[in-house]
Amino acid sequence: MSPASFPPVRKQDVRPDLIRIASWIEPGSRVLDLGCGDGALLAYLRDERQVSGAGVEIDDSHVITCVQRGVEVIQQNLEDGLALFDNKQFDTVVLSQTLQSMHRTEHILREMARVARFGIVSFPNFGYWPHGWSILRGRMPVTGQMPYQWYNTPNIHLCTLDDFERLARDLGLRILERATFHEGREITLLPGWRSTLAVYRYAAD
């Protein structure tokens, strides 16, 4: 079936952080979305920016939804790496709200730099100021962006904005754009303290 055969994804049905990610992607480019979920971003990019893309997802129900949306998807665990893909096969690779759950953080970022010219990463900001108050009270923070208890959380590598920027420098990734959010609103004042979600676009030099 052609893309026109599938119902379009409306902007109001896509998360604000994904809309920001979409704005950073060139029309007509090739995109790989790692941990693509239900395929909303790829379907939106296809409909609004004529992007050709593929997703990688492990969850059965999400894979089915991707197929129903006409999104090309490969069912695979990201921890197994990106050996399926050639060097610079894509223009942009996206890893949205998944970095913090990866066991081998540096490895996946290096692999992203191998398969695409540009990378986009988003993750919960552990520097959000109420997190500090929770720790001072002797408890791990539980928020809308990190809604899990310490014993059942999938988040194993939490970081602040400064932490990620230092890692990016160490890996030779040149940061081009940054956007930060709190409850769907973009934050520009004191983002390291006031945002719960950070989104970065970088070049793999």
- Say yes or no to pLDDT of 201 above 90: yes
Measured CA to CA, the distance from residue 62 to residue 40 in angstroms comes to 10
Look-up of token digits 């303290």:
193
**Which CATH fold would you assign to the domain 11-126+157-204?**
Rossmann fold (3.40.50)
- Say yes or no to pLDDT of 181 above 60: yes
139-171 pLDDT, tens digit per residue, is 656 666 556 565 555 557 788 999 999 999 999
More reliable by pLDDT, 103 or 33: 33
Please, is 160 exposed, middle or buried when counting C-beta atoms within 10 Å of its C-beta (0-12, 13-18, 19+)?
middle
pTM: 0.89
C-alpha dihedral (13, 15, 19, 21), degrees to nearest 10: -140
Q: What integer pLDDT is reported at residue 157 of this predicted model?
A: 77
Q: What is the mean pLDDT of the chain?
A: 88
Label residue 126 by pLDDT band (50, 70, 90). Answer: confident
Label residue 172 by pLDDT band (50, 70, 90). Answer: very high
CA 7 to chain centre: 24
Q: 3-state SS of the chain? A: CCHHHCCCCCHHHCCHHHHHHHHCCCCCCEEEEECCCCCHHHHHHHHHHCCEEEEEECCHHHHHHHHHCCCCEEECCHHHCCCCCCCCCEEEEEEECCHHHCCCHHHHHHHHHHHEEEEEEEEEECCCHHHHHHHHCCCCCCCCCCCCCCCCCCCCCCECHHHHHHHHHHCCEEEEEEEEEECCEEECCCHHHHCCEEEEEEEEC
Q: Considering only 23-27, 111-115, 138-142, 187-191, which range has the smallest mean pLDDT?
A: 138-142
Q: What integer pLDDT is reported at residue 4 of this predicted model?
A: 56
Please state the rounded mean pLDDT for residues 126-144.
66
- Delimit the domains of the chain by residue range: 11-126+157-204
